[in-house]
Amino acid sequence: MAETDRSYAGVHYVNYGQIGLWDKADPSAYPLPNGPLPWWGPKGVVVPALDDAEVSVQVNFEPASADDGYRLLTQGEIEVGRKGLTVGNVTTASTADLPCRRGRYTVSCYYRGSSPQQSNALLFALSSSVAEKGAGDP
């Protein structure tokens, strides 16, 4: 399956009003809290979400549009290692592991709701900046 054909959709229970997307292989990849959300690190991003609720989360390996009421929240780059990505909320252990080629990705984070802190749906759209062919392929 081509990388652009893969996507993930799930529901995650949120504590502390945050959902993250980070490199699975590196235990220090989850970005450190630094001011208000979103938080970016070299290997991950954490964005705000509705607190103490189930939030719909999508991860797409293709550019996304602002369809279905989604609005752009933030955009940046992360490095993904050989084991792929983890998405979800660490404090509730409501996470999922996703296959992803090793490399550098531009991540665009979108939210749906009255504000980022009240978002009940999040979309992470990844586009490859530099992905290694064959390295870490699922």
Domain for residue 75, yes or no?
yes
Please give the average per-residue pLDDT across 43-50, as a whole number.
98
Domain for residue 37, yes or no?
yes
Domain for residue 94, yes or no?
yes
**Closest among 105, 62, 60, 55 to 80, alpha carbons compared:** 105
Tens digits of residue pLDDT in 57-90: 999 987 766 567 899 999 999 999 999 999 999 9
Domain for residue 138, yes or no?
no
Tens digits of residue pLDDT in 81-111: 999 999 999 999 999 999 999 999 999 999 9
Domain for residue 136, yes or no?
no
Domain for residue 60, yes or no?
yes
Q: pLDDT band at residue 2, thresholds of 50, 70 and 90? A: very low
What local confidence, expressed as pLDDT, does residue 131 receive? 58
Q: In this structure, what CATH number is given to the domain that contains residue 110?
A: 2.60.34.30
Give the type of residue at 96: A
In this predicted structure, the answer to whether residue 118 has a pLDDT above a threshold of 90 is yes
Number of domains in the chain: 1
> Which residue range(s) make up the domain with 53?
3-131
